């Protein structure tokens, strides 16, 4: 019996806080990504939940409440335990299900669209868009000018060369 219930849209800070709380109930128990929060990052939920509520309040209701750098936390996490597309897919699946289970309307749809956009940016800036993982360690994000000199290394040319 779904689809006929009238659900309110996300209206205020209290809605955001409850939504974020319900979402993390799912996330922390998720077999794929729960351990990233509990075992790897050992997140202090008493601190994290209000920060997440600030983030979503800013994104959906009152810009400017959240003034931190969300990328930093994910880079640090990625350095300890590589983030992959499947982790973000799960995060988004849980977020969409929790949002739609509690709310309906344009703000809720923006919450889902925004999450997809942020997830894409986070994935791109951590694991990279589908690239294999570079060496372990902090990911140094620099944009290098492409080497235009085209100087090829001479191929190994020993005739019949063996190891």
Instruction: By CB under 6 A, name the binding residues for ligand HEM.
Output: 33, 36-37, 41, 43, 47-48, 51-52, 55, 68, 70, 73-74, 77, 83, 87-88, 91, 115, 118-119, 122
Residue 67 CB, shortest distance to ligand HEM, in Å, is 9
Eight-state DSSP code of residue 40: I
Shorter beta-carbon distance to ligand HEM: residue 47 or 142: 47
Shorter beta-carbon distance to ligand HEM: residue 87 or 103: 87
Rg of the chain over all Cα atoms, to the nearest angstrom: 21
Shorter beta-carbon distance to ligand HEM: residue 130 or 154: 130
Residue 48 CB, shortest distance to ligand HEM, in Å, is 4
The torsion angle over the Cα atoms of residues 100, 106, 108 and 111, rounded to 10 degrees, is 130
Neighbours of 121 (CB within 10 A): 13
Residue 11 CB, shortest distance to ligand HEM, in Å, is 20
Neighbours of 23 (CB within 10 A): 21
The dihedral sign for the CA sequence 146, 152, 153, 159: positive
Residue 123 CB, shortest distance to ligand HEM, in Å, is 8
Neighbours of 116 (CB within 10 A): 13
Shorter beta-carbon distance to ligand HEM: residue 64 or 163: 64
Shorter beta-carbon distance to ligand HEM: residue 65 or 104: 65
Q: Which residues, at least 6 apart from 77, have a Cβ–Cβ distance to it below 8 Å?
A: 36, 40, 41, 83, 126
Q: How far is CA 54 from CA 51, 82, 86, 104, in A?
A: 5, 26, 26, 21
Residue 108 CB, shortest distance to ligand HEM, in Å, is 14
């Amino acid at each position: 019996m779904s689809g006929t219930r009238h659900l309110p849209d996300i209206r205020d800070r209290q809605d955001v806080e409850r939504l974020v709380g319900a979402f993390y109930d799912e996330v922390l128990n998720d077999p794929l990504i729960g351990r990233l929060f509990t075992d790897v990052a050992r997140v202090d939920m008493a601190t994290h939940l209000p920060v997440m509520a600030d983030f979503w309040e800013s994104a959906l209701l009152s810009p400017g409440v959240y003034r931190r750098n969300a990328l930093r936390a994910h880079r640090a996490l990625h350095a300890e335990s590589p983030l992959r597309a499947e982790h973000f897919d799960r995060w988004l699946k849980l977020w969409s299900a929790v949002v739609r289970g509690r709310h309906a309307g344009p703000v809720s749809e923006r919450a889902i669209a925004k999450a997809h956009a942020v997830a894409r940016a986070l994935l791109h800036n951590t694991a990279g868009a589908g690239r294999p993982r570079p060496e372990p360690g902090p990911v140094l994000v620099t944009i290098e000018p492409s080497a235009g000199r085209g100087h090829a290394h001479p191929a190994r040319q020993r005739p019949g060369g063996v190891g």
